[in-house]
């Protein structure tokens, strides 16, 4: 079983979704896997899609092409996930922390010379999108959170989550044992059932490939161990970028009612909206990509109309 700092592109990536859209970019010793789709015309707005914990570019395999009718699209594997490595960080911003990932992503965008006008974040990816805006690292015209994980875990889970994740992340044997266990189809079934979503065979196989690789598991656990949503929640009233929250009502990972709590923390001037999706779970964008794409396109058209040329 591979033990490197990322999956092997010539092995695990041989049949990766949209392999022809992939390239690798190294920025400050961090080797990124990115995928890009051109827009329908020169000057089309750029949409950056940010996946959640434990996922990768594969999560956007159907949504990205669906958005291409209106946007140029950029997707990335986050640090420590799939084919992107993990770079050294600072004490102030560890590489797998929320500020660390936001900073690394902003450095990638600067290196690529890109400035997204739309940020779409799924789950923990939405937290990165919000952090980018709060820290002045990105200036999109609209944020869209798909089943956004923006608030701390409550109750006993919140008390135990970070310490347990830290323990698991820093015991080298744990990712290997988890990956080996996750190769059991029954384990993968339970993981996916816990999202409230129903995926096709391709989606299931791709998640199976990821959770069966120790390096990807280590990146996922490291991200969980360094995640500080308490600070993000306290900072939400400072957000000045319009935000729409798309909520799968069958989500078993992020309680759908959390969106209303986030909405209450945001400045009234943002007029943040909660947009429900019936019969879809945490991976709604993988279950019904055309439906989610149409909603995102409508949000952008209504909330961030194209600026006329001067």
**Cα distances (Å, whole numbers) of residue 70 to 64, 120, 306:** 11, 14, 11
* 110 pLDDT above the threshold of 90: yes
pLDDT tens per residue, range 32-54: 999 999 999 999 999 999 999 99
**What one-character DSSP code corresponds to residue 308?**
P
Structure tokens at 182: 């996750």
6, 9, 12, 17 alpha-carbon torsion, rounded to 10°: 110
- Residue in the block written with tokens 């919000």: 130
> In angstroms, rounded to a whole number, what is the distance separating the alpha carbons of residues 251 and 269?
28
**Cα distances (Å, whole numbers) of residue 85 to 24, 26, 218:** 11, 10, 11
pTM: 0.92
| Packing angle of the helix pair 173-182, 214-225 (nearest 10 deg) | 120
- Residue 263 Cα to chain centre, angstroms: 20
pLDDT tens per residue, range 244-285: 999 999 999 999 999 999 999 999 999 999 999 999 999 999
Report, as an integer, the average pLDDT of 46-64.
Answer: 97
**What one-character DSSP code corresponds to residue 73?**
E
pLDDT tens per residue, range 6-22: 799 999 999 999 999 99
* 310 pLDDT above the threshold of 80: no
Percentage, residues of the chain above pLDDT 90: 72
Interacting residues of 154 by C-beta distance below 8 A, sequence separation 6+: none
* Strand partners of residue 119: 48, 143
Structure tokens at 301: 């058209």
Of 69-73, 95-99, 124-128, 203-207, the range with the lowest mean pLDDT is 95-99
**Based on the number of CB atoms within 10 Å of its own CB, is 235 exposed (0-12), middle (13-18) or buried (19 or more)?**
middle
Report, as an integer, the average pLDDT of 225-242.
Answer: 93
Domains of the chain: 19-156+228-303 (3.40.50.1820)
């Amino acid at each position: 079983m591979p033990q490197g700092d990322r999956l092997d592109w010539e092995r695990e990536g041989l049949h990766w979704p949209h392999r022809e859209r992939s390239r690798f970019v190294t920025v400050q010793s961090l080797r990124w896997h990115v995928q890009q789709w051109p827009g329908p015309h020169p000057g089309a707005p750029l949409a950056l899609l940010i996946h959640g914990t434990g996922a990768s570019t594969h999560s956007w395999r159907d949504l990205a092409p669906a958005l291409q009718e209106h946007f140029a699209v950029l997707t990335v594997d986050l640090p420590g996930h799939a084919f992107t490595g993990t770079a050294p960080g600072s004490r102030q911003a560890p590489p797998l922390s929320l500020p660390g990932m936001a900073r690394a992503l902003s450095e990638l965008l600067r290196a690529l010379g890109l400035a997204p006008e739309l940020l779409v974040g799924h789950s923990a990816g939405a937290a990165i999108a919000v952090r980018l805006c709060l820290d002045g690292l990105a200036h999109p015209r609209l944020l869209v959170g798909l089943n956004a994980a923006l608030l701390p875990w409550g109750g006993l889970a919140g008390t135990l989550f970070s310490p347990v994740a830290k323990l698991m992340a820093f015991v080298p044997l744990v990712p290997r044992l988890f990956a080996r266990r996750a190769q059991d189809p029954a384990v993968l079934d339970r993981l996916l059932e816990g999202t409230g979503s129903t995926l096709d065979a391709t989606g299931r196989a791709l998640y199976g490939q990821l959770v069966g690789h120790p390096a990807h598991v280590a990146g996922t656990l490291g991200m969980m161990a360094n995640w500080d949503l308490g600070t993000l929640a306290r900072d939400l009233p400072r957000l000045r970028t319009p935000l729409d929250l798309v909520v799968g009502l069958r989500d078993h990972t992020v309680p759908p009612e959390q969106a209303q709590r986030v909405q209450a923390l945001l400045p009234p001037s943002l007029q943040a909206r909660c947009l429900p999706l019936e019969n879809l779970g945490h991976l709604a964008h993988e279950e019904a990509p055309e439906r989610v794409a149409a909603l995102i396109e409508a949000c952008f058209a209504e909330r961030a109309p194209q600026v006329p040329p001067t």
